């Protein structure tokens, strides 16, 4: 029998589970440790981020000692199907969890990820800002012919993960239509995979993002719907997806450095975003709140048929 201590939180409705476990992932760069995690500890991902112990929307986080003494920690994110590069809502959840555990105080904290360092600020009111990795538009106006849907136009952009952001058709994004939105975004991703469209360095475009009018123009600039790699949709406005959107707005000259963009999710939660230009690179900052929802022990009993999650057979 194995037990794992976890702290659960949600950021704008999207769950994060920090697994309180020391793992031997070596002392190499975070990208190397992520590969080791995949090879040696995939059972932890499956046991913590799939049914029956988690909803399929769960993002897990394992903390690892930083390579840089100026950083507070390193973190590897993963979900119901694989590891992630960065995770914006997850990073806000990790910072809120560290604050809950009294491991950090309000202020700035460098955190290492497999795709680069981010600078998190824990504000006095408990909100968290994440200065993300540099983000950019990779392909503009890429038209796809999506079976069953016809012509779709969008951009490919990076915000710590790879995204295809749909520009047309224009959509009304309503929470009650989420099953249909999932079908549409999955069909887009299938088309991208079939046509072998990738991000830079053959990065798989595993997140698909739709845009529409916000519930109120006073509350937000736009509303989104984001398909995540494991087939679920992001309940939050998606930190890396909002970063990718910011990179496109900046490339189009529609958002100036420092200007605020308020991104609403399909559930109505909001991230505030802006960017700085650093050596001509777009560096987005995302601000939001996370709430700790549970501190618990997961029990992994080898006699349990689903001890390591429900597997496809």
Please check whether residue 60 is in contact with residue 88, taking contact to mean a CB–CB distance below 8 angstroms. no
Examine the residue annotation and report whether 87 is marked as an active-site residue of this protein.
yes
Phi, psi of 195 (to 5 degrees): -85, 5
Closest to 129 (Cα-Cα) out of 308, 306, 311, 273: 273
Minimal distance in Å, beta carbon 56 to ligand PYC? Answer: 12
Examine the residue annotation and report whether 49 is marked as an active-site residue of this protein.
no
Based on CB atoms, which residue is closest to ligand PYC, 154 or 159? 159
Based on CB atoms, which residue is closest to ligand PYC, 33 or 207? 207
Please check whether residue 245 is in contact with residue 165, taking contact to mean a CB–CB distance below 8 angstroms. yes
Interface ranges with ligand PYC (CB under 6 A): 14, 59, 87-89, 161, 228, 234, 236, 238-240
Based on CB atoms, which residue is closest to ligand PYC, 74 or 239? 239
In the set 115, 238, 249, 273, the catalytic residue is: 238
Based on CB atoms, which residue is closest to ligand PYC, 212 or 288? 288
C-alpha–C-alpha distance, residues 292 and 312, integer Å: 31
CA distances from 190 to 11, 84, 197 (A): 28, 19, 10
Phi, psi of 259 (to 5 degrees): -70, 140
For the chain, give the number of residues. 313
* Counts of helices then strands in the chain (DSSP H, E): 5, 16
As annotated, the active-site residues are 87, 238
């Amino acid at each position: 029998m194995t037990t794992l201590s976890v702290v659960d939180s949600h950021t704008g409705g999207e769950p994060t589970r920090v697994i309180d476990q020391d793992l031997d992932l070596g002392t190499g760069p975070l990208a190397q440790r992520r590969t080791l995690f995949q090879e040696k500890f995939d059972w932890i991902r499956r046991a913590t981020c799939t049914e029956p112990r988690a909803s399929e929307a769960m993002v897990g986080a394992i903390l690892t000692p930083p390579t840089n003494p100026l950083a507070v920690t390193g973190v590897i994110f993963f979900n119901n199907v694989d590891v992630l590069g960065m995770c914006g809502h997850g990073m806000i959840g990790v910072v809120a969890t560290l604050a809950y555990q009294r491991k950090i105080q309000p202020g700035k904290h460098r955190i290492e990820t497999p795709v680069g360092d981010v600078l998190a600020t824990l504000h006095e009111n408990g909100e968290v800002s994440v200065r993300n990795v540099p983000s950019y538009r990779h392909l503009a106006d890429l038209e796809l012919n999506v079976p069953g849907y016809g012509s779709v136009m969008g951009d490919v952009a990076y915000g710590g993960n790879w995204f295809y952001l749909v520009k047309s058709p224009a959509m009304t994004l309503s929470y009650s239509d989420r099953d249909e939105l999932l079908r549409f975004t999955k069909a887009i991703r299938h088309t991208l995979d079939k046509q072998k469209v990738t991000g830079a360095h053959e990065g798989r475009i595993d997140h698909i993002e739709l845009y529409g009018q916000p519930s109120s123009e006073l509350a937000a600039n736009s509303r989104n719907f984001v398909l995540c790699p494991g087939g679920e949709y992001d309940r939050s406005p998606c930190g890396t997806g909002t970063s990718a959107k910011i990179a496109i707005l900046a490339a189009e000259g529609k958002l100036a450095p420092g200007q605020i963009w308020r991104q609403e999710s399909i559930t109505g939660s909001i991230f505030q975003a802006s960017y700085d230009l650093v050596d001509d690179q777009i560096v987005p900052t995302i601000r939001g709140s996370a709430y700790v929802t549970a501190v618990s022990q997961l029990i992994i009993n080898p006699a349990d048929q689903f001890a390591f999650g429900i597997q496809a057979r």
